[in-house]
Chains A and B, each alone.
Chain A
Amino acid sequence: MGTYVLRRLLQMVPVIIGSTFLIFVMVFAIGDPAAGRCGDRPCPPAYIAQFRAEYNLDEPLVVQYGLYMLKVLQGDLGTAFNGQVVATELLNRWPTTVKVALIAVVFETLIGIAAGILAALRRGRFLDYLVTVSSLVVISIPVFVVGGLAQLVLGIRFGLFPVTSTGGSWGELVLPGLVLGAFSVAYIARLMRGTLIENLRADYVRTARAKGLTPRRTIGVHALRNSLIPVITFIGYDIGALMGGAVVTERIFNINGIGGYLFYGINTKDGSIVVGTITCLVLVYLLANLLVDVLYGVLDPRISHD
């Protein structure tokens, strides 16, 4: 197991280099990175010269990237145009995004799994149709529509939740968390329902019944344990995906998290913010993937990591 994790960590290095290089090229090498920096007027030559010097834009591309990564390794993600240090800003915003993602994960795990189990056990009856149809509806609607609707209905019409965030307290982040987890809760419900129905037909469940076990134990121990493997795997991947998904949600709810910062960086064409933020997101995503693969080996004894 130890060597497996080490090998996976080493495999991350080329992935990180590749992804950051692509982002770097897209942000700094395609087009004129200084264009539009000064509104409608052209920028003063002195400003452009300073800008190009800071990012070594007159060097060959590989050198530019190398020098940038050297700074990243030292914890220096550069300085945004408004003078903020990107690394500090990310550190300040990170807890907010994690809070939103945490709310989303708890929401999708509890509600998604419960709804999936109920639908599987009441297959073909009202509750099943309720879960399958409503989850399909949620999956089909884009997140910005779900977010807007949630603000309008739950926030303004019923006044249950605040619709924007100022300080990033838990209370303000509940509604964004639910919106962020909405897609996954629907997906997990369907996944859970499908795998449980499949496993309820499995031979080993028949064996469990033949052993004279109660339905509660047959389903709750034998069928459920197997059905949870793909679901838990999905939740693991989703932790990584939720960080990226936060861009839209944080924008809708005006949350000062990583996603909101990335959105701000893209809007202001601030290369330091965009590259720095995405590098962090890539790292989180890769670590979440590693966690899932390790977890998979723990949950399913047939998978070995030797």
Chain B
Amino acid sequence: MSETLQGAGRPVPAESSWTPVDGRLLDVEDLFVEFRTRDGVAKAINGVSFSLDEGETLAVLGESGSGKSVTAQAIMGILDSPPGFITGGRIRYCGTDLLGLTEKQRREVRGPEISMIFQDALSSLNPVFPVGWQIAEMLRVHRGANRSDAREGAIRLMERVNIPAARQRVNAFPHQFSGGMRQRIMIAMAIALDPAVLIADEPTTALDVTVQAQIMALLAELQEERRMGLILITHDLGVVADVADRIAVMYAGRLVETADVHPIYAAPAHPYTKGLLASIPRLDQKGQELSAIGGLPPNLTRIPPGCPFNPRCPYAQDVCRHDPPPPLIEVRPGRRSACHFTDRVLADSEVEFDHTHPGAQEEGR
């Protein structure tokens, strides 16, 4: 490709070097990641496939340790290796397999094309450099901007993410900002080079509720404005509903269900998703005990045989314990689920979620 010829002296990345194929930005295919630790090999990702289109928001849901963040880090190419190793699969960006690129070529994707924001903005920003400097670093390193241009660019980006008095605060340090403002700075840094894909790894988990809403609104606005593909990693179902177009639910390093956002809320097709949705506190069911999914996610060094969810699953039968994990298959148009009993789960949740909701409200009035 022309990438290698352009070399180090690429002043402004040619817009044409990365163009989506039929609107498709990212295509993750059968990805496997494992962590080789002293306690054994933890199989963090076990055959994950999904795709992301221009202007699309994909929410990746799951408990801690389900492999959400590892998937994101594998796409970014910032897995700590060792101990983390990608042992199989492909990550195609605009048709090119990122895993086949050299480290130098990947650095030209990481930041300018695909960028990422993290959960804890305070620890994710370098404490000893001014925030403006950290934003400007993107422009200086990737675009070759000089100090003053990069500084002006940083101020414009800070203004874009609605940081008040950006010009006065450009030289302030991360600890001098509030949590929400720090996350805005992370966002400004991530969008500095106008990336096509933004990965947000639990961007609002460390923030309080009102600030969460502001940050989500900002992300949605930026995504709309720049037609970015947004991968939103979260374990908070409440955050997802307003923003996401599609949802992918992960469990023990596998996708267990993918669907458009509304059908999944109306009737989940996988017992795990059903459990997650049932555990959301609801305004119309005050005073009731919250239902929780019993048990814990499996230890990734010792994933149980069969379907990894079987020890916690109310639908589990012998087939779930003995047969290989069920594949992710299309159960309705645009919906995929990895369960032997999808039809039963769907039938049950259509009753539970579609009918109790308005029914409960009426009874309450």
Chain A residues close to B by CB (< 8 Å): 201-204, 206-214, 217, 222, 225-226, 229, 299-302
Contacts and interface: CB of A to CB of B under 8 A. Distances in A.
Contacts of A203: 118, 120, 123-124
B108 A212 contact: yes
Nearest to A301: B173
A149 to B, nearest CB: 39
B111 A222 contact: no
B118 A213 contact: no
B317 interface: no
Contacts, number: 70
A213 to B, nearest CB: 6
Interface string B113-154: 001101010011111110000000110011000000000000
B111 A211 contact: yes
A211 B175 contact: no
Contacts of B109: 212
B180 interface: no
Contacts of B80: 201
Contacts of B230: none
Interface string B184-222: 001001000000000000000000000000000000000
A212 B128 contact: no
A211 B110 contact: yes
Contacts of A202: 123
Contacts of B189: 207, 211
Contacts of B76: 209-210
A229 B128 CA distance: 10
A212 B142 contact: yes
A212 B124 contact: no
Contacts of B120: 203
A204 B127 contact: yes
Given A207-B126, A212-B107, 20 more contacts: A203-B118, A203-B120, A204-B126, A206-B78, A207-B124, A207-B125, A207-B189, A208-B126, A209-B76, A210-B76, A210-B111, A210-B116, A212-B111, A212-B142, A213-B141, A222-B129, A225-B128, A229-B128, A301-B127, A302-B127
Contact of B110 (A210, A226, A302): A210
Interface residues of B, number: 28
Contacts of B173: 301-302
Contacts of B125: 204, 207
A213 B104 CA distance: 10
B141 A211 contact: yes
A210 B121 CA distance: 14
30 contacts: A202-B123, A203-B118, A203-B124, A204-B124, A204-B125, A206-B124, A207-B124, A207-B125, A207-B126, A209-B76, A210-B76, A210-B78, A210-B111, A210-B118, A211-B115, A211-B138, A211-B141, A212-B108, A212-B109, A212-B111, A213-B107, A213-B137, A213-B141, A222-B129, A226-B126, A229-B128, A300-B127, A301-B127, A301-B173, A302-B173
A65 B229 CA distance: 79
A222 B108 CA distance: 19
Shortest 9 CB-CB contacts between residues of A and residues of B: A212-B111, A212-B110, A203-B123, A204-B126, A301-B173, A212-B107, A203-B124, A209-B78, A210-B116
B107 A214 contact: yes
A46 B137 CA distance: 79
A203 B175 CA distance: 15
A226 B126 CA distance: 8
A202 B128 CA distance: 13
Nearest to B109: A212
Nearest to A217: B141
A76 to B, nearest CB: 47
B118 A206 contact: yes
Contacts of A300: 127-128
B195 to A, nearest CB: 10
B268 interface: no
Nearest to A223: B126
Contacts of B110: 209-212
A26 to B, nearest CB: 44
Interface in B275-300: none
A206 B201 CA distance: 13
A222 B110 CA distance: 17
B62 interface: no
A236 B112 CA distance: 42
B127 A226 contact: yes
A301 B141 contact: no
A202 B124 CA distance: 8
Contacts of B108: 212
A301 B123 contact: no
A163 to B, nearest CB: 45
B138 A222 contact: no
Contacts of A207: 118, 124-126, 186, 189
A214 B140 CA distance: 13
Contacts of A222: 126, 129
A211 B137 contact: yes
A212 B123 contact: no
